[in-house]
Amino acid sequence: MSAENIVIVESPAKARTIGKMLGANYRILASMGHVRDLPEHSMGVDIENKFEPQYEITKDRVRIIKELQSAAKGATHIYLAPDPDREGEAIAWHLQEILKKNSKAEFRRVTFHEITRAAIDRAFKTPGKIDMHLVDAQQARRVLDRLVGYKISPLLWTRIEKGISAGRVQSVALRIVCEREREIIAFVPKEYWDFNAEFSSQAGASPIDFKTKLVQIDGQKAEIGNADDAGRIATAVRGAKNYSVASVDIKPVSRSPYPPFITSTLQQAAGGLGFSASATMQLAQQLYEGVELGEGGPVGLITYMRTDSVAVAQEAQSICRDYIASTHGNEYIPAKPNFYKSKASAQGAHEAIRPTDVSLTPDKAKDFLDARQLKLYTLIWRRFVASQMASAEQKRTTVEVEAQAPDSHKYRFRAVATVTTFPGFMKVYKASETEQDGDSQAPSALAELRTGQACKLAKLETEQKFTEPPARFSEAMLIKELEANGIGRPSTYASIVKTIQDRQYVLREKGRLIPSELGFKVNDFLVSSLPELFQIQFTAAMEEKLDKIEEGEVLWTAMLEEFYGSFSKWLDEVKNAGAPEGDKAITLLNLLDKVRKWAAPEKAGRRTYDDSKFVKSVREKFDEDGKITARQWEALLNMAVKYADQISGLETSGEKAGFSEELASARERVSVAQARREETASSSEDQAKYTEIFSLFEPVQWEKPEKRGARSYDDGKFFASLKRQAESGKLLSEKQRAVLSRLASKYKEQIKDYEKLAELLGVSSEAAEGDAANPAANAEKNAEIEALLTPLAQVKTWAEPVKKGPRVYDDKAFFESLSRQHQQGRKLSDKQVAALKKLASKYSAPAAPAD
């Protein structure tokens, strides 16, 4: 293998597919996505220096970067081949910035929208350079999101709850979901009545029976809003004797095919298969990066899946038209190829999502794909082929029957029937299985009726109904709403929807998105405090500015300067909201000057709270600029209550200065906090017990942190947090003590006096040992578990993690956790074995792909 030509892509799957196409003259390496980012624990943006990002190599990419640097040293050419969009261009740029310091190789950028031999050959024959406009657009978005998150999240910590965060675009998505939920809550159902009538008429020797619906009364739309009116009208309709055909209208209807998929429409359509937006993108990525097709080796089955363009390459269009003609006949291809118009903001260089080889039908591909991959491939293949087919031709017959009733009102009923005379694209693709011909009654029978022909009312049914509130958003519906409002782009839709669920601001129940109580609180605070920033129109305008940076029309630093000017002003307004007037602040600070005996500094966890030092720092800052923040004011009021016995005239001065009510609120806060401290405070006996418990854990060597789904489990870190809590004088909760007992059982081999520890924790060492004394039973159970784990280890594609309330159900992470537990010789509980059986059953017989 030559080391002279290095190719760097994002993933191992993409590397394998491209590697087999390029051959031995190229060494293919994977960066595993982004390699540099803004730092985790600081803002990482130098605002004063034109918003310069302070990038650092991400922790889990350090080893990969070392490998790439080592490979780059001996290379003559380095081909940067990440995905063809902003994120991919940024990855390529970061790689070049890092590797050029240790390599004299020539860097070349290669882009392709499908991973086929022809596309790869073309890309490597015509390499280019990194597009800095694309990179700048990505940098601008990243810095923009960091500024908003870093500056606003602390406001949420003080106003709502510690540890939560705000996002520039995600918060607008949350707003949309919350506003829809409030519409639903405020909705008042309105009563209405449907009138469905069956008529019969004679056409020659054969009677014609047909169903109709009341549509007009005296030429106006029929609107019946209560039972009294419904009863009166029903009596009148039944009493009418002169029903006749008022009109017969037969007209042809042409139905055009749908355009091929873009990211948002694919995510919406895949929702009908039960796939979340994230699952759809995960499966599409697998199809794009390459699938083994037997002896032919791996090949990408679809074009790049992050796109907002409905354009199709002329070559692909011609091949598809030939396929349609040979498979279905020339009548199924339109005289001129179908062209679809993309949005103005669509990236012109991109194509729609389509199969790379239209001759690879879903039936031919099924042996190489798992059930979920096949369902998505089928959906993409059918939609694309249909998009290049002729329109469907239909005949719609509309008949209206009218009579003047005894109440002197004219009542008109309508029947509609549609028949498909030529299926066109519908032979291959329907948006849903319910998309059939319009009515069950035969259009041919309705067409035999003639104007003026007498009809007889055979049956009348009335039905009370109520208007429905707006539907809650599904993931697909929310993405459609975001796209309609110009919020987000193909690469961000799935992450936006996922983030608001991961943060537990939005819950997913029966496929619908419902704001949590926390979500409502966050949204209400953000919208009321920063209305301009979280306006839907403002967010859409920012997306347009990012597009202009990408097109080279706007400098990214100029856009950030303009934004930050407004953003800083909005932030100051929020921070100063609730801050006291100068007179109030001076009065309270002067009163606190009377305190002579301050409490000793108090250590809580890693922080030390020093009342005297705090008041002094606030006083010095106030003397300097005359400002006190709302948070500082609240803290000073709490101090005044705490040291009230040393402050003479507190009540009188507070009343004169106008903060007596605020003092009363502070008194209540301090009282509640004190009661809570007393409830959780540990006694000296508890303290001695905790000291002994934690000392017995000292020899333990903790296992490395383990990632399960979105969460990371770190035994050592968790133990340290419990220890800090106990040392600060707080009792451990029942749940925390239970976890501590489990840790003791897990690491019992490293604990010298395990029996003593079990006794202190209140658990039996025998119970903790489980049924180790029964090896025969254990062997039988182990064999059962092995039989369940073995087939699950062969599963290629796992279902997307699902969030239900605060919990995340992740099949893959759950399987891997149980597998590790079993391999380490740790017993699985009966509950875990039962869950494993369910999991094995779920993946044992994949469902047949949907048509």
Higher pLDDT pick, 519 / 583: 519
Pairs from 109-113 (Cβ < 8 Å, separation ≥ 24) = 109/79, 109/80, 109/81, 110/7, 110/79, 110/80, 110/81, 111/81, 111/84, 112/81, 112/84, 113/84, 113/303, 113/304, 113/350, 113/351
CA dihedral of 43, 48, 50, 51, whole degrees rounded to 10: 10
pLDDT of residue 768: 44
Name the range with the highest mean pLDDT among 456-465, 656-665, 728-737.
Answer: 456-465
Give tens-digit pLDDT for 41-62: 899 999 999 999 999 999 989 9
Give tens-digit pLDDT for 300-348: 999 999 999 999 999 999 999 999 999 999 999 999 999 999 887 666 5
Q: What beta strand segments (E) does 573-721 contain?
A: 602-604, 607-609, 706-708, 711-713
Distance, CA of 309 to CA of 340 (rounded, Å)? 9
pLDDT of residue 781: 67
Q: What would the 3-class secondary structure string for 452-468 be?
A: CCECEEEEEEEEEEECC
Structure token pair of residue 558: 């100029």
Of 316, 283, 287, give the one whose Cα is nearest residue 299. Answer: 287
pLDDT of residue 850: 36
Q: What beta strand segments (E) does 736-842 contain?
A: 802-804, 807-809
Higher pLDDT pick, 224 / 797: 224
CB 694 within 8 A of CB 680: no
Residue 767 pLDDT class (50, 70, 90 cuts)? very low
CA angle centred on 479, ends 477 and 480, rounded to 5°? 65
Give tens-digit pLDDT for 388-439: 999 999 999 999 999 999 999 999 999 999 999 999 999 998 765 435 444 5
Q: Where are the alpha helices (DSSP H) in 272-313?
A: 277-289
Residue 691 pLDDT class (50, 70, 90 cuts)? confident
- Looking up tokens 């509980």 gives 829
Distance, CA of 525 to CA of 249 (rounded, Å)? 57
Least confident of 258-262, 285-289, 634-638, 776-780: 776-780
Active site residue 493: no
Least confident of 116-120, 238-242, 530-534, 608-612: 608-612
Is the per-residue pLDDT at 30 higher than 90? yes
Read off the pLDDT of each residue in 88-96 and give the average, rounded to a whole number: 97
Read off the pLDDT of each residue in 724-736 and give the average, rounded to a whole number: 77
Higher pLDDT pick, 94 / 489: 94
pLDDT of residue 851: 35
Pairing mode, strands 291-292 and 512-515: unpaired
CB neighbours of residue 187 within 10 Å: 12
Is the per-residue pLDDT at 139 higher than 70? yes
CB 376 within 8 A of CB 275: yes
Helix, strand, coil percentages, rounded to 5, for the chain: 50, 15, 35
Share of the chain above pLDDT 90, in %: 63
Read off the pLDDT of each residue in 202-228 and give the average, rounded to a whole number: 92
Distance, CA of 454 to CA of 574 (rounded, Å)? 73
Distance, CA of 581 to CA of 597 (rounded, Å)? 28
Share of the chain above pLDDT 70, in %: 91
Average confidence score pLDDT of the chain? 88
Angle between helices 277-289 and 493-502 (to 10 degrees): 140
Catalytic residue (choose from 243, 304, 377, 643): 304
Return all residues near 235 (Cβ < 8 A) that are at least 6 apart: none
